[in-house]
Amino acid sequence: MLINTVMVCTRELLPILLLLSALMHRVRGNTPYFLLFATANGLGLLLAVTPFLASLAALAEGNGLEFLFALCHAVSLLSLMLSLVHRWTLLFSVASVTAMTLLCGVNLVIYGLGADTRGVGSEGFWLGIVLATGIGLSIAVLWYQLLAEVSRLWTPVLGLVLAMMAARQSSELYKLFQQLDWIESVSPLWNSASLLREQSEVGVFLQALLGYEASPTPLQLLIWAMTLAAMMLLARRKGETV
């Protein structure tokens, strides 16, 4: 169904569009170069990787894609941190978005491969992508404006938002390591699905922004909080303002 395609595509595109919105504040003055290089690099890598997806997925007992996704999250996280300690802010911001573009792009390509079997066909898939992009861009523009307005009243807001996005990368890395059995599975601390489902509209937005999990484990929460704290400290050291 078309609505399912729009929802899945929106869920995939939202994290990268929110990241782009936030980083555009940081790279002010270089925005055209940032958008150009981030988009071109991400799409270029995606085109390079797509022909080898099947071979990649078959590695490590069918967990090859998880390795790729973990690499993308790690590069994005590291780039966000390095953008705070190094003067090459533009370069690391581009690297962060490139990694996320590759990750989201691979998911969308795989989803698109089965479009015919879901009754939407390739035309329906592309229509879904266009609609999802429109929805995502609308949210991203509103988010950009909101950050601009709030930062006038409270300057550390950009640092906080990017810290939450970095913490999201850590949380996603944890989930992938758990999936690969590199981290023991343990019982979650709580289950807030009855209050806020991950698949709801707010749940999808919060997942894209800060990695919202309805049932986080203690270690996952700890890693998330430590990454958030580290990013806030680095931002404070840099004197992060907007």
Partner 1 sequence: MRAIGLFLKGTLLMLLACDAAAEEVFELRIREHLFQPSRLEVPAGRKIRIRVINEDPSPEEFDSFALNREKVILGRSQAILYVGPLDPGEYPFSGDYHPDSAAGVLIAVPVKGKRGTHAD
Q: What is the distance between the alpha carbons of residues 60 and 70, in angstroms, rounded to a whole number?
A: 14
CB of 101 to partner 1, least distance (A): 18
Judged by CB under 8 A, does residue 175 bind partner 1? yes
Among positions 29, 117, 123, 152, the unique one binding partner 1 when judged by CB under 8 A:
117
Q: Contact at 8 Å (CB) between 227 and 167?
A: yes
Hey, is 181 helix, strand or coil?
A: coil
CA dihedral 97, 100, 102, 108 (to 10 degrees): -130
Closest CA to 226 of 92, 81, 46, 84: 81
Judged by CB under 8 A, does residue 218 bind partner 1? no
CB of 146 to partner 1, least distance (A): 30
CB of 206 to partner 1, least distance (A): 16
CB nearer to partner 1: give 107 or 133: 107
User: How far out from the chain centre does Cα 236 lie?
Assistant: 23
Judged by CB under 8 A, does residue 53 bind partner 1? yes
CB nearer to partner 1: give 83 or 207: 207
Judged by CB under 8 A, does residue 181 bind partner 1? yes
Binding mask 119-158 for partner 1 (x = CB under 8 A): ----------------------------------------
CB nearer to partner 1: give 57 or 131: 57
